[in-house]
Amino acid sequence: MRKLLTTSLLSFFVIFGFAITQASASDNKDLLDEVREITEGTNVEVIDVNELPAGTEFVEFDSVEDFEKALKSQEDLLNNDVEFSQDSPAIQPMATSSVGSIKWVTYKWWDPTKPVNMTINFNYTYTGSGSSKLFQSVSNIKSHSTGFPTNWVQTNASHRLLDAKRTISITITGYHLFGASIGGQPIGYKADATYIREFYR
């Protein structure tokens, strides 16, 4: 009798545990489907959380509604980028090439309280010096970001010479990878972005 009771209890817990696992998997799928529906038609794509770089921290959202509200607020942040420096090492009078750097701070909708520091480094050639300096070419454009909780991946870069070659306009495109936990479930995201910055002589 005791053996029969033990077997019955074991069977109950196995079945009960399986039911809970199935229900949890179903809830997770429903949440993912809901998030994918919210991000459809935006610059944000839901990705496998395992595609995020090791050590990625996650922004916490209590609910899908909170996540959707944050996503809709990104338009308000588009013009809040702040450029804080342009660097060019000391140039020798006879030099014809140098290295430029543009740095700025941007804020992202998934966590607008924390700045993302962006940097573009590039090589350029020029003629003349001082007020007569004119840019001739730009190469090796590379960008990166620092700051929680984003990882920037550059996919393309281009440039134009403006103002009679007195200004370099650089465009970088790529995406930010970040993680968000919605109601306790971790989800990975990829947010496309384009930045245009200018460098002056």
3-state secondary structure the chain: CHHHHHHHHHHHHHHHHHHHHHHHHHHHHHHHHHHHHHHCCCCEEEECHHHCCCCCCEEEECCHHHHHHHHHHHHHHCCCCEEEEEECCCCCCCCCEEEEEEEEEEECCCCCCCEEEEEEEEEEEEECCHHHCEEEEEEEEEEEEECCCCEEEEEEEEEEEECCCCEEEEEEEEEEEEEEEECCEEEEEEEEEEEEEEEEC
pLDDT of residue 28: 65
Higher pLDDT, residue 83 or 116: 116
Q: Among 4-13, 54-63, 80-89, 191-200, which is the least confidently predicted range? A: 4-13
Q: How crowded is the C-beta side of 59, counted as CA atoms within 13 Å?
A: 23
Residue 21 has pLDDT above 70, yes or no: no
Q: Among the residues of 40-153, which ranges form H helices?
A: 64-72
Residue 197 has pLDDT above 70, yes or no: yes
3-state secondary structure of 143: strand
Element (H, E) at 33: helix 2-39
pLDDT of residue 103: 92
pLDDT of residue 170: 96
Higher pLDDT, residue 117 or 20: 117
| Residue 64 contacts residue 52 (beta carbons within 8 Å) | no
CA–CA dist 195, 190 (Å, integer) = 16
Q: In the structure, what pLDDT confidence band is assigned to residue 169 with cuts at 50, 70 and 90?
A: very high
How many beta carbons lie within 10 A of that of residue 50, not counting itself? Answer: 6
pLDDT of residue 4: 44
CA 15 to chain centroid: 43
Q: In the structure, what pLDDT confidence band is assigned to residue 95 with cuts at 50, 70 and 90?
A: low
pTM of the complete model beyond 0.85? no
Q: In the structure, what pLDDT confidence band is assigned to residue 81 with cuts at 50, 70 and 90?
A: low
